[in-house]
Amino acid sequence: MDASNRCLNLQPFLVLADISRHLRPAVLPALADIRSSFSPTQPINQRAAGIVAGVTLLCTAAVTPAHAEGSYDTYISNWYVSNESRHWTDRNSDGAWTGVYFEGCSTNGAFNHAGLMLRKAVDWQPDPSKGSRTNYCGWVDWNDPDDAGEYYFVLESLSSGSRLWVNKVTIGF
């Protein structure tokens, strides 16, 4: 086997390794299964078809929230910094991550990203932060807060502009 064929045989593994850096940890075992199913002796068209199918499946799984306890869809219209989402109750009956998915984002500037903070609502006290994330019009998560209670997110910042619109928002918990 000449050097060019050896490099060609490594390409599926390099592509999958690069993609794995951007996936949620729950998706990584599936990636390992796909990697192990390829043999360097398979014809290149079979490997290519397998890689395309595997990457499509993994990319879909990586951006689709998979929450057992609950989720809801909504939208954002004309929000400014410090606006709060609707509150939801996470009973912490599972190990699912809490996350927010944005699709169709715009501002009255040029949208690049929005800063979000997850807060837990606490009666008669300041609401503690569970951390901040930057949403580039996709999925962000706070792992599992491991704490039952009422939650919401706050718009902390915008990359440009002063108002935010998001066509579809999915909150999963």
Q: Which helix (H) or strand (E) holds 29?
A: helix 28-36
Count: domains in the chain: 2
Could you tell me if 78 and 109 lie in one domain?
A: yes
Range of the domain at 59: 3-63
Could you tell me if 75 and 57 lie in one domain?
A: no
Q: What is the pLDDT along the chain (173 residues), one digit of tens a residue?
A: 444 444 444 444 444 444 444 444 455 455 455 555 555 555 656 655 556 555 555 544 444 444 458 899 999 999 999 999 999 999 988 878 899 999 999 999 999 999 999 999 999 999 999 999 999 999 999 987 778 999 999 999 999 999 999 999 999 98
Could you tell me if 93 and 142 lie in one domain?
A: yes
Could you tell me if 145 and 164 lie in one domain?
A: yes
Could you tell me if 47 and 7 lie in one domain?
A: yes
Q: Please give the Cα distance from 124 to 45 (Å, whole number).
A: 63
